[in-house]
Amino acid sequence: MKKIILSFVFLTTCLLSLPVFSQIENEPVALGLPGDNLNLYAVLDIFQKSKTLEEFERAINSKDRNINNLDLNNDNLIDYIRVVSYRDGDSYSIVLRVAINRSEDQDVAVIEVNKNRYGKIVVQIIGDEELYGEDYIVEPNSENTFGTLNPGYAGNERVFSDTYWNGVFYVNDWPIIINLFSPSFVIYTSPWYWGYYPYYWRPWTPIYYYNYWGYHSYYYRNPFYRRTGYVRYPLSYSYYSSRRTSSPIVRRNRINDTYRRTYEGRTFRRPETPVLPRTREAIPRTRQGNSPGTRPGQINEPRTRQSMPRTRQENAPGNHQPIPRNRQENAPANRSVQPTAPRNYQPMERDRQENTPANRQSMPRRDNPNRSGDRR
């Protein structure tokens, strides 16, 4: 009887705790920045399922998908997101850009696609600092244990070489990646601009963030994508950074908290920041922890270096002392012959002095008779 009662109490406690856990899991999280209204997890998922950049641009601006909820120019209408691509060798930068007015643009995010020397392709989407803060990066998750990103895709490969590249996911079989690296691909730049948009585009009023989170909450909990805190190819990203476009209007609106009205005055908890494998705090700990075990030679190194000056000091006096003594002993012997040199040179100077006037005086005497003879 007691066992039945205890089991009943345990089951009741578990059932009562389930709503609490589900409420915490479904509670919206927000950066408190304009980027909360464009879910980069959903953008990367649309990118993976698209075949071309034109199709990708149309999908992220579709009202039916509820992905774009940005109103950066604060006109109470959704902004159209343009797609602009750049290429640098085997690297592509797919930029999401919004026209604030006729003269100003603002970059929202950039999708970095890089092929390494082994032909493997890595993709990351990096949010702009003005909209997402620093180091807001989303990438495919290779540690997915619930299946692949696409049921028809079976090319997920994992690499566990070190901490920095732990769990990298290669995307060679994505349809849009195949199109990017095909010989027929042409760099795509959206033809639309401020006041001139495609026929299917009809801007709508943005929704509040709480409702927007309801459409995309499952993206943050899915095992297909994950947030990381570092760029895998900084050199390629720097190529885009020199072409980054920002708007003073967006910066001013962010500083003045103009975009906070989308939260309806609510305060949401912040999302968890990913643990960085390579930070200034982690690097010293890694070196101190691994050096005694993996590199025992580093501990003995100072000892060998300290012994080297001792051998030099002991050998240096022994090697250098005989040299000055030999020089001092040999120097007088060599220099004793030197005083004879002036004695040999002095008669030569006297001969030159004695013969020179004689020659100079005799020369005019020989010349004068000839000159007088010529005159005659």
Run of H or E including 362: helix 340-375
Supply the pTM of this predicted model.
Answer: 0.66
Q: What are phi and psi of 161, to 5 degrees?
A: -90, -45
Q: Based on C-alpha coordinates, what's the Rg of the chain?
A: 41
Residues of the chain with pLDDT under 70: 1-25, 143-167, 275-376
> Strand 225-228 vs strand 91-99: parallel, antiparallel, or unpaired?
unpaired
Diameter of the chain measured on Cα atoms: 166
| pLDDT computed for residue 157 by the predictor | 38
CA distance 368 to 376: 12
Residue 139, classed as helix, strand or coil, is strand
Residue 229 is predicted with a pLDDT of: 85
HSE of 60 in the Cβ direction (CA atoms, 13 Å)? Answer: 31
In the block, tokens 């989308």 appear at 262
How confident is the model at residue 165, as a pLDDT? 57
- Residue 214 CA to residue 344 CA, distance in Å, equals 112
Element (H, E) at 125: strand 121-127
DSSP code, position 269: B
Give the model's pLDDT for residue 300. Answer: 42
Give strand pairing partners of 121: 115
Which tens digits make up the pLDDT trace of 151-209?
333 333 333 333 455 568 999 999 999 999 999 999 999 999 999 999 999 999 999 99
Cα separation, 120 vs 249, in Å, equals: 40
- 197 is written with which tokens? 């948009």
Amino acid found at 22: S
The contacts of residue 143 (CB under 8 Å, 6+ apart) are 158, 167, 223, 226
pLDDT at 35: 96
Return the residue matching tokens 């149309």.
58
Residue 168: per-residue pLDDT: 85
